[in-house]
Amino acid sequence: MTILLAPVSHKGKHCIAIRFDYDFTIKEYVKQFPGTYWSSTLGSFYFVYSSKKLTAFATYLKKRNYAYDLPSALAKASARRRNVYFLPPLSTRKQGILTKYEQFLYGKRLSRSSVKVYSSFVSEFLRHTRDKKTELLDEEDVRLYVEWAVKELNYSISTHRQLVSAIKHFAHFYPGCSIDEEKLYRPKKDRKLPVVLNKEELFELIRVTKNLKHRTIIALLYGSGLRVGELLRLQLRSFDFKRKQIHIVGAKGRKDRYTTIAESTFPLLKNYYNTYEPKLYLFEGKSGGMYSSSSIRSFLKQSCKLAGIAKHVTPHTLRHSFATHLLENGTDLRYIQELLGHSKPETTMIYTHVTKGDLQDIKSPLDTLILQRKLPDKDEQFPLLS
């Protein structure tokens, strides 16, 4: 017999229900576990959830060789995401509405990844509202859900903004509900400066990356300013070596564009092609098809460790570095905007805040103060800071 451990909400707390076909021996054994209670409402024994408690109970069952089943999603989930699994499942009617909402998003020509993200937020919202009819949902329900998600799931501001966008789309799709999308609050974006590697760090990063495929990927991400998704979708036909250009098809915002290829990568690309012999995509997995972004993040982390780079580096950091170094080399901002595929110049303008050329020419007032005190015509002695 297999004992089912199911996440439930009971008396306002996250609990684990212990369900099994009636067996007197199992019943007597389960009820002896510290902190186990019987609930007539649940129709089962249960205990208040904690990761430590769940592990202890699993060990307790193993002592008698009792088999148990725990949803793998709950077992593998991070601590903050576990809260989601204690929300009740969607009713058949709400699941039907969610399915139609996904079709609505596809009809608006949103990307598959956007549909997946928006759908997960709306599913979470509908589960959070429990048995409340969809027609009665209003801004108060949205507010309570957002407060719960920010507190319990520790959502960032960017995720918070996505969440609100998803519910705005839902309110537009399902006018039968009472949500006024104009009254939904969406926080302003964080204004964070991008992490940028200096030229010495980039050179060292490429040098310590011995694997030919990995080195070629790093060289293209930085040398052409590609997003990781754009790099993974590159096909052999994307390259025009005579014009030193890469044709990026269906990039962010469904826009095509051309970006540059560094001449220094030509021998590297030739060596890579002759070694790996890709068939369709430039970078393919072991069994064919597109290479994975998780593999890139993994080897990039290892290469940064070997290069002694302490900064938090992602594939996008190489794109930021491409743009920043172009600006420092005197490239016009409009050309950089075109190479990066930005719709608005304001997006590209952020790199003006991280370039070092002009900033290095600005003297700190402390330096000016020290210099003035050291001038020959000054009688008073002013010691150096050291």
169 given a catalytic annotation? no
Q: In angstroms, how far apart are the furthest CA atoms of the chain?
A: 100
- Taking the mean position of all CA atoms in its chain, how far away is CA 241? 34
CB atoms within 10 A of CB 58: 15
CB atoms within 10 A of CB 132: 13
Dig out the tokens for 338 from the structure: 């075109």
Q: Does residue 37 carry a catalytic annotation? A: no
Rounded CA separation 375/354 (Å):
34
- The separation between CA 206 and the C-alpha centre of its own chain, rounded to angstroms, equals 25
Residue 306 CB neighbours (<10 A): 13
CA distance 97 to 134: 9
Q: Report the DSSP pairing between strands 2-10 and 67-69.
A: parallel
CA pair distance 288, 283, nearest whole angstrom: 9
Task: Take residue 130 and report the two structure tokens written for it.
Answer: 């429990």
CA dihedral 82, 297, 308, 208 (to 10 degrees): 160
CB neighbour list of residue 156: distance below 8 Å, 6 or more residues apart: none
Catalytic site includes residue 227: yes
What phi, psi does 105 have (nearest 5°)?
Answer: -65, -40
Point out the catalytic residue in the list 227, 244, 247, 257. Answer: 227
Contacts of 352 (CB under 8 A, 6+ apart): 327, 333
Catalytic member of 14, 168, 186, 252: 252
Which of these is catalytic: 128, 213, 319, 325?
319
Contact 319, 225 (CB under 8 A): yes
Which is catalytic among the residues 82, 127, 213, 342?
A: 342
- Encode 69-85: b = buried (16+ Cβ within 10 Å), e = exposed: ebeeebeeeeeeebbbb
User: What are the angstrom distances between the C-alpha of 202 and each of 43, 311, 353?
Assistant: 61, 12, 20
Show the tokens assigned to 187: 């926080």
For the question of residue 351 being annotated catalytic, the response is yes
Decide if 316 is catalytic: yes
Give residues with Cβ within 8 angstroms of 296, minimum separation 6: 217, 228, 231, 315
Q: Enumerate the active-site residues.
A: 227, 252, 316, 319, 342, 351
